[in-house]
């Protein structure tokens, strides 16, 4: 089981994830840590309450992080705000749905769910958030 947990917690911050904006990069690092904590707890057979608490923390922090990004986008009149926010809204809805199911006992956190979270985060950072970072740095922000 420990080997499985270690394999699942393979998402590690790397400079390739940097969007060149410290506030966003710092929050992405925290999200990676939270997702890894969730992965390890789930794979280690932690109780539903422990896993649910960590999942709640992931959802709460994600909402907070998205609000931060969206505030920056509004403040700087980011031209792709609507599309970026739509991606945020979709992930928050999916994560919230998962949390409700998990709390109701209908689902455990599976490898597929963890892979979804990790893939979504890395794809979002390396695509949409990199564009936002480039925009913010073009405005002289870091």
Q: What is the pLDDT of residues 67-105, one digit of tens each?
A: 999 999 999 999 999 999 999 999 888 888 888 877 777
Choice between 45 and 65, residue whose per-residue pLDDT is larger: 65
- By the 8 A CB rule, do 42 and 108 touch? yes
- By the 8 A CB rule, do 40 and 9 touch? yes
| CA-derived radius of gyration, the chain | 16
Helix (H) or strand (E) holding 96: helix 81-103
Contacting residues for 110 by C-beta, under 8 A, at least 6 apart: 42
- The CATH class, in words, for 2-138 is mainly alpha
- By the 8 A CB rule, do 36 and 9 touch? yes
- pTM equals 0.84
Q: In whole angstroms, what is the distance from residue 109 CA to residue 111 CA?
A: 7
Residue entry with tokens 């792709």: 80
**Diameter of the chain by CA atoms?**
48
């Amino acid at each position: 089981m420990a080997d499985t947990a270690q394999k699942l917690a393979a998402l590690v911050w790397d400079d390739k994830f940097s969007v060149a904006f410290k506030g966003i990069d710092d929050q992405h690092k925290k999200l990676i840590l939270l997702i890894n904590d969730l992965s390890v707890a789930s794979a280690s057979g932690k109780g539903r309450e422990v896993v649910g608490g960590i999942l709640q923390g992931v959802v709460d922090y994600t909402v907070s992080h998205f609000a931060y990004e969206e505030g920056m986008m509004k403040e700087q009149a980011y031209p792709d705000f609507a599309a970026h926010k739509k991606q945020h809204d979709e992930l928050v809805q999916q994560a919230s749905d998962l949390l409700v199911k998990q709390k109701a006992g209908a689902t455990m956190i599976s490898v597929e769910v963890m892979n979804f979270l990790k893939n979504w985060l890395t794809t979002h950072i390396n695509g949409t958030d990199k564009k936002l970072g480039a925009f913010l740095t073009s405005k002289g922000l870091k």
